[in-house]
Structure 1
Amino acid sequence: MNALIDKTSELLYPSVEKLVKEIVAINHAWKAAGELFGNNSPLSISSRDLKTCLQVRLLRNYAPEKVYLIEDTEVEGEPLYSLCLREPIGNRLYAEHLPMRTAEKVLTDQELAKFKQK
């Protein structure tokens, strides 16, 4: 019975490490789908949206204690946030990029303010 509770808890409340690994894997899948089938293909769009959902889950569960949003000023083009990790996970310091326009669409103003705190 305890094993079932542990599995259920792990599914409902994944660790920060698990979420970051999933975000990175889905990000790679999204980029591959875009190259193979085009950025507007159903697989590409689905992968992008799943990555966003996982990033939002990471922020809502672990910000600002373990992860926070910071504007990435080094990229050109569309304004992006980086999901900055307070402690490295493996060799990663970030959980990929999140476009600002997407963050403003899926997060409340209060969440954005909280998640941008350092």
Structure 2
Amino acid sequence: MIDETDEPLYPSVEKLVQEIVAINHAWKVACELFGQNSHLSTSSRDLKTCLQVRLLRSYSPEQVYLIEDKQSEGEPLYSLRLREPIGNRLYAEHLPMRVAKEVLADKELEQFQKI
């Protein structure tokens, strides 16, 4: 029997978190070098969002959930909180609330938030 987590179509939670973190760093560098509206910046940002949605849909609520980041300044953000640390990480970066409302159904938003 094939373990789905070994297949490229079913990445493990660890692999998804690693990819989200790497893409988030690439996005920040692209913004600094080329501006927030450059193709590389927007593509990186959108890829990070897609990976975060995939993480939530695949591993919530058992391994990850959304929680409002009350310490963030500016735009309201969710943190993707990991139930168990992966490496030294407890979060899979931030997702703006407005973006979460655009890419997730209301039922999903409710399901993915810690109650």
Superposed, 1:99-114 pairs within 5 Å as: 99-114=96-111
Runs of at least 5 residues in structure 1 that lack an aligned partner in the other structure: none
- 2:29 matched to which residue of 1? 32
- 1:43 matched to which residue of 2? 40
- 1:23 matched to which residue of 2? 20
* Over 3 Å off, 4+ runs: 5-9
1:2-58 deviation line (CA, Å, top 9, x unaligned): 8xx669952111000000000000000000000000000000000000000000000
Q: 2:59 is matched with which residue: 56, 62, 77?
A: 62
In 1, are the aligned partners of 2:66 and 2:81 still within 8 Å (CA)? yes
Runs of at least 5 residues in structure 2 that lack an aligned partner in the other structure: none
Letter in 2 for 1:35: E
Instruction: Give 1 or 2: higher helix fraction.
Output: 1
Question: Could you say what the CA RMSD is over the residues aligned between the two structures, in angstroms?
Answer: 1.7
1:64-100 deviation line (CA, Å, top 9, x unaligned): 1100000000011000000000000000000000000
What count of residue pairs does the alignment treat as equivalent? 115
Identity, in percent, stands at 77
- 1:91 matched to which residue of 2? 88
